[in-house]
Structure 1
Amino acid sequence: MGTENKVIKCKAAVAWEPGKPVSVEEVEVAPPKEHEVRIKIAASGVCHTDLTYLYDCGKGVQTRPFPLILGHEGSGVVESVGPGVTTVQPGDNVIPLFLPQCFECEFCLSPKTNLCYKNWRKTQQCVLADGTSRITCKGQQVYQFLGVSTFCEYTVVPEYNVAKIHQDAALDKVCLLGCGVTTGYGAALNAAKVERGTVCAVFGLGAVGLATVMGCKAAGASRIIGVDINVEKREVAKTFGVTEFVNPNDHNKPIQEVLMEMTSGGVDYSFECVGNVTLMRAVFESCRAAWGTCVIVGWNETDSLSLAPIDVLMGRTLKGTYFGGWKSVCSVPKLVEDYMSGRIMLDEFVTHTLPLEEVNHAFHLMTKGKRIQTCPDLSAVLAKQSLLLPPFIIHSPF
């Protein structure tokens, strides 16, 4: 591309401090170092998690360093590779990943988990393996959110955090597989292992919730109950497979009691797709005793969850999922092909298309009027994804 081994000047949405709007700046992106890949971003989702780390640091999430370039749900084309990279080459279509897969650690070698801790602590600190970022602005280092930073026209990520995908894939759609859709879809198929003919309840019908519904339907669930206080979600959710819609505000009793009555004892599988610990308890208590399984999908790093031991002793299972249980580098290319063959939906998650310069408006859209609330003070946004192109996308997973 004529830029190999050179510093690239490009645009990025820089968050200079928490709680303030981001600003689109000219940044400098350094060439990749050993086992690193520089990617020209084609499209990027705006996940509700991005919004949370910008405006709600400390409220269920740990503070990240600033200045920071957010974005962790993107797709693009490899511009250049650093020494030692063998898995991709310039020109390849790829999806950068916040969850690595090194193929060497005990986790990667185990079929029991999709976790991988290769450079984990570094990327959680928003730097790469050597403790620095590859992006600077006005002479100052800018941190890379989760080691990714897709709100930048170019980014550099570790080789272990890159999935090579089909060259014919629609980059403005498959970027959604970088986080929210993959997480929800896998929550049903991999974490819960939903069985055919069972009853499921999904709390929070944002993008992650709708993807969870999609996974429940693919697994053959006979009833899929969507729970949300936004009545506009009722029709949207049917598109993805919801068979019944429940608005907690329509009832004068706790939502778990409502579901217990609707299902004569509780659902077989329940999913919390918001990230609020109060709601998590209600979702868990919605499960049927003896074999009900509750999966925590919503992101929360810091708050404590309180449960009644008897609910566990009576045979209910509580578990969580990270990135839907998918082995990232191996699984994402297969999910891309599933989309291309029509086995999973992505287009239906898209609601808005905006340029990078309007990223603050994208955040505004996520919070304006269309909130997903499943109990007081629990909020997420927009029934579907919102796209930010070119070259970026917005979506809300919670």
Structure 2
Amino acid sequence: MSTAGKVIKCKAAVCWGPKQPLSIEEIEVAPPKAHEVRIKIVATGVCRSDDHVLSGALDVNFPIILGHEAAGIVESVGEGVTNLKPGDKVIPLFIPQCGKCRCCKNPDSNFCVKNDLEKFNGVLQDNTTRFTCKGKTVYNFISTSTFTEYTVVDDIAVAKIHPDAPLDKVCLIGCGFSTGYGSAVKTAKVKPGSSCVVFGLGGVGLSVIIGCKVAGAAKIIAVDVNPDKFAKAKEFGATECINPKDYDRPINEVLAEMTDGGVDYAFEVIGNTGIMTSALKSSFFCGGKTVIVGLAPSNATMTFDPMLMLTGRVLTGAFFGGFKSKDDVPQTVDDYVNKKINFDGLITHELPFEQINEGFELLRNGKSIRTVLNFCRA
């Protein structure tokens, strides 16, 4: 029996407030309005950015349905949606691509003015949400909300992907893999024979390493305070792994000694402003490039000596690895399907959706790289 045009009741993990476990609830998901798409989520990853909301580090509206790294199948579309149909495999996009704004028209930018990453309003483009639970409005998270069996997104925030794509794998392209990989190959534009350092060896940091290796970097130094992550870093291409706790001097000094004065490319993939400064200092004073990848708390600020920049260092950053979402996500999925890239090793745990809180505990305790939550197989 078709569900198109009807309210769907389904399970979702609702976040009622910070510092609380997610609660599996029955919610109502309204049909898509004009230029919206309702998606049946098949698999979704557990990402550190979601945990920032749970810890209270990001200021959002509650209650909210988190999740932004997922893949699913179109259930129905609203009026005016012409490029998607029920049954299409898709990835929701936490950075929309309207194709019309100044950012979208800029070939050097992957942002879109219709994003919800800066204000966290928690609504779709018409300033409302499609979720209710126990009679209360439930907010959307950065244009996606994937910790639910069904979600509704704007058509500018969803990409149609290869029909043969395994959704429980390519869901990582919705955030973690693309963010890291793209930071190396698209934002930094790592050159063959260069030296790189990656601070933070979670799923995104390891994806940066994959990108650096694909780009032909000769030296890839992985940095983390958890040595249990070193084996996986070397598996993906790190040439050396170091633990800052093993040294009695600043890590940037150690890195300078290892790389004849500093690395060509430094990546901060933690969201810690102190480490961002360390990454900047570890880059070569004459033209070294530092890319901020990690998401810092809402109230975080950076302070550093401007002389660090005057000699030619470059400091930049990018959401989603600089990928233009609707353009680059389908191509990245194609590359995966055609075995041009492989990131299966990033997935260390697979759990049923109902065990979502266990997935976050694995993340917090450093026991997982990426946990994928499965609703069903497709």
**Is TM more than 0.5 here?**
yes
Deviation of 1:302 after TM superposition, in Å, equals 2.8
Instruction: Classify 1:252/1:222 alpha carbon distance in 2 versus 1 (closer, same or farther; 3 Å).
Output: same
Deviations 1:95-120 (A, max 9, x none): 00110001111111110101111264
Match of 2:354 in 1: 357
Match of 1:308 in 2: 305
Q: Any conservation in 1 of the 2:362–2:368 contact (CA below 8 Å)?
A: no
Q: 1:146 is matched with which residue?
A: 142
What's the CA shift for 1:148?
A: 1.2
Please report how far the alpha carbon of residue 346 of structure 1 lies from its aligned counterpart in structure 2 after TM superposition.
Answer: 2.3
SS in 1 for 2:38: strand
Residue type of the alignment partner of 2:201: L
Give the secondary structure class of the aligned counterpart of 2:330: helix
Say if 2:355 is the partner of 1:384.
Answer: no
Q: Which residue of 1 aligns with 2:29?
A: 29
Distance in 2 (alpha carbons) for counterparts of 1:357 and 1:38:
21
1:331 is aligned to 328
Shift of 1:390: 3.0
CA deviations 1:137-179 (Å, max 9, x no partner) are 1111111111211000000000000000001100000000111
Hey, what does 2:40 align to over in structure 1? 40
Shift in CA distance, 152/113, structure 1 to aligned 2, threshold 3 Å: same
The residue type equivalent to 1:54 in the other structure is L
Taking structure 1 as the reference length, what is the TM-score of the superposition? 0.92
Contact 2:349 2:372 in 1 (8 A): yes
Inter-partner Cα distance in structure 2 for 1:119 and 1:201: 30
In 2, the alpha carbon distance for the partners of 1:219 and 1:120 equals 31
Q: Write out per-residue CA displacement over residues 324-382 of structure 1, whole angstroms, 9 at most, x where no aligned residue.
A: 000100100000011112222221111111111111111111112x2xxxxxxxxxxx4
TM-score by length of 2: 0.97
Deviates further, 383-392 or 146-155: 383-392
Q: 2:90 & 2:148 partners in 1: Cα distance?
A: 15
User: For structure 1, which runs of at least 5 residues remain unmatched after alignment?
Assistant: 371-381, 393-398
- Is contact 2:13-2:147 (8 Å) kept? yes
Q: Is the 8 A contact 1:260 1:266 kept in 2?
A: yes
Asked if 1:288 is matched to 2:284, the reply is yes
AA partner of residue 320 (structure 2): F
Instruction: Report what 1:233 is aligned to.
Output: 229
CA RMSD, aligned part only? 1.4
Q: Return the alpha-carbon distance in structure 2 between the equivalents of residues 188 and 21 of structure 1.
A: 34
1:156-211: CA deviation from partner (whole Å, max 9, x where unpaired): 00000000000110000000011111000010011111000000000001011000
* SS at structure 2 position matched to 1:359: helix
* Distance in 2 between residues matched to 1:123 and 1:88, nearest whole Å: 28
* Aligned equivalent of 1:215: 211
The CA deviation at 1:121 is: 7.4
Structure 1 counterpart of 2:305, one-letter code: A
Aligned partner letter, 2:154 = P
Structure 2 unmatched ranges of 5 or more: none
- For 2:334, the aligned partner's letter is E
Task: Return closer, same or farther for 1:280/1:218 CA change in 2, 3 Å cut-off.
Answer: same
The answer to whether 1:168 aligns with 2:168 is no
**Equivalent residue for 1:98, pick from 94, 97, 116:** 94
Once residues 125 and 227 of structure 2 are traced to their aligned partners in structure 1, the CA distance between those partners, rounded to angstroms, is 46
Q: For residue 199 of structure 2, what is the amino acid of its counterpart?
A: F
Distance 2:87 2:230 in 1: 42
Choose the corresponding residue for 1:341, options 338, 341, 353: 338
Aligned-partner Cα distance in 2 for 1:20–1:230:
26
